[in-house]
Amino acid sequence: MSTRLLAQNIGVGGVQIKGPLEGISTIGDVINILIPFVMSLAGVMLFLVLIWGGYDVMMSQGTPEKMKSGRAKITAGVVGFILLVLSYFFTKLLSYIFNIGQGIL
């Protein structure tokens, strides 16, 4: 009896097809696979927040409350994205310093 619960390899016509979980053994492997998707999603969200805030500023017609709201959205989006990028690089730097990762980038 096999110790694998899910089939990770299958042979079809002499060609080996590997499953998506091939090479994943720890939660760190899963996180390393998800990080590029999270960063891409954050970039798309930043773009949408910038559009939303810019729309609010353009449609404010000089109303101070609406302009302040639009500027706050833009500022929050940019600050949030900067914090996300800095936390990513800080984590990479710590993994490099303590020699637990693959390097800085």
pLDDT tens readout for residues 59-97: 999 899 999 999 999 999 999 999 999 998 898 888 888
From the CB of residue 105, how many other CB atoms can be counted at a distance below 10 Å?
6
Nearest to 70 by CA among 60, 61, 82: 60
Going from N- to C-terminal start, the domains of the chain cover 25-97
What pLDDT shows up at residue 35? 86
100 or 42, which is more confident?
Answer: 42
Query: Which residues have C-beta within 8 Å of that of residue 39, sequence separation ≥ 6?
Result: 84, 85, 88
* Reported pTM: 0.69
What pLDDT shows up at residue 4? 52
